[in-house]
Amino acid sequence: MNTIISLYGLVINEVVIKAIVLSIMCLIITTAHSYTYRYLLNKAFIFTSLMLAPLVLAVTTVIATNLYLSLGMIGALSIVRYRTPVKSQYELALFFSFICLGIISGVNFKLSISIFILLTLIPFIYEFFIKKIFNFKFFNLSKTSFEKSNSIILDIVIHNTDSFEFIKKYNFKNNLMKIETNNETKESFLTLVYEEMDDALNAKRDIEKSEVIKNINLTNA
């Protein structure tokens, strides 16, 4: 009986340790990717990175040895979904990577560490290898921090136009933090960041009369 209790305690502790390590790994991945995408450094995304992988690990651990429970969990999870839409394919891939880490760690923790290292290195591979050696011409997203109290956020929705041409026309390249496109509605969502309110207001005035503008929203970060 004591042997069974000891084995049970060991398994429980191992899962808990794995969950803690997974949370740290996902937080490191988020921090590494924020080198390019600064908007990832917000409470919602940080808390998601801390919670998602350990929760998936817990679920896979519970259903691993019980076929009936596995089928029941699949049915239950099929009705659970994010009510807030994912902003971009990139964020969807990042969420999926957290889920995969949780699943893989339940089967092969060493493999999950290898994947963690790869996911952490991707932003630096892009910045210091792909971008510089091959000199690819991508839009350079602004490094302005969202966490600055004086940052001004200008959200723009445009329709029926080429978003890249729109950015070039109004010279938004240096202030562009985020760009998303919805092919179904033919709308593009742009997030611009300014350090001065006057600059943000001037940009807003420049585009207000444009026919392609659907919505403009000016807020403090």
d(CA 130, CA 138): 11
Please write the tens of the pLDDT for every residue from 46-63.
888 899 888 888 877 777
User: Which residue from 212, 186, 210, 198 is spatially nearest to 154, judged by alpha carbons?
Assistant: 198
- The pLDDT of residue 25 is 92
The CATH number of domain 152-220 is 3.30.70.260: yes
Would you say residue 140 has pLDDT above 50? no
Sign of the alpha-carbon dihedral angle for 191, 193, 197, 198: negative
Per domain, the residue ranges of the chain are 2-133, 152-220
Give the residue with greater pLDDT, 163 vs 101: 101
pLDDT(74) > 90: no
- Cβ atoms of 142 and 174 closer than 8 Å: yes
The whole-model pTM stands at 0.56
Give yes or no for a contact between 192 and 156, defined as CB atoms under 8 angstroms apart: yes
